Amino acid sequence: MDKETAGFIRRHKVIAICRRLYGPDLLSLASALSQGGVNMLEVTFDQSDPECIKKTSEAIRSLLEKFGSCMEIGAGTVLTKEQVMAAKDAGASYIISPNVDVEIIKYTKALGLVSVPGAMTPSEILTAHNAGADFVKLFPSGTLGFNYIKDILAPISHVKLVATGGVTEETLPEYLKLGFAGAGVSGRLSEKKLIAEGNFEEITRRAQAFSKIASDY
């Protein structure tokens, strides 16, 4: 499963990040994204919520039940082995974290899932890569900026990077030109205001813009 999922990520490139959204709103968001050509959704564990394992697991199951034939669903902000297993049991195919934890990477791979830990420095990126990560999430990409990114790319060009943090329709092409495997997108594809207004047409329009950019690379 991990090879198929890794290939799916490389082909489609854009992962929509969904935080603290459940039930009908989550399903409506997924539908809008899918209609716009964004076929990957990361459901994050809300670490401040004692019920996060239950809520995230249920969210992943509900998404797969409705969109499993066309979308790859992953879990995000995964910090513990318990959360990795819960995500796997719910049907998630990739595990995304904000940090580099070698034990989590190895456990994720042992379970046959795709590992995408988050890193900022060259040392962290290479630690994650050498531990077996399929991709390394460069986070926070937007804050680090392109000057920093260009400086570190030369010695780590063999690592498949995913940009996350402030990625927009304007900056995505630059990441892909630099050789990034893809990007995690939160605000532009899961804006709370649009969801509250029920304006899923705008989310579909934005998803179309992102998927068009991804298809050009």
44-92 pLDDT per residue, tens: 999 999 999 999 999 999 999 999 999 999 999 999 999 999 999 999 9
Domain that holds residue 75: 2-215
The model's pTM is: 0.96
Does residue 1 have a pLDDT over 60? no
Determine contact, residues 57/40, Cβ cutoff 8 Å: no
Instruction: Catalogue the long-range contacts made by 175-181 (C-beta closer than 8 Å, 24 or more residues apart).
Output: 175/141, 176/13, 176/213, 176/214, 176/216, 176/217, 177/217, 178/146, 178/149, 178/150, 178/153, 179/153, 180/138, 181/9, 181/10, 181/13, 181/135
Q: Which residues contact 161 (CB under 8 A, 6 or more apart)?
A: 125, 135, 136, 137, 138, 179, 180, 181
Looking at the 3D structure of the chain, how many domains does it have?
A: 1
Say if CB 96 and CB 114 are below 8 A apart: no
> Can you tell me the mean pLDDT for 97-105?
98
pLDDT average, residue stretch 123-136: 98
143-158 mean pLDDT: 94
Q: How confident is the model over 4-29, as pLDDT tens digits?
A: 999 999 999 999 999 999 999 999 99
Residue 1, token pair as written in the block: 């499963």
Confidence label for 2 from pLDDT (cuts 50, 70 and 90): confident
* Distance, CA of 114 to chain centre: 11
Average pLDDT of the residues in 197-215: 98
Residue 3 has pLDDT above 90, yes or no: no
* pLDDT tens digit sequence for 106-117: 999 999 999 999
How buried is 216 (Cβ within 10 angstroms: 0-12 exposed, 13-18 middle, 19+ buried)?
A: exposed
Alpha-carbon distance of 135 to 159, in angstroms, equals 7
- Give the domain CATH number at 79: 3.20.20.70
Asked if residue 122 lies in contact with residue 156, where contact means CB atoms within 8 angstroms, the answer is: yes
Structure tokens at 177: 């030109």
Average model confidence (pLDDT) for the chain? 97
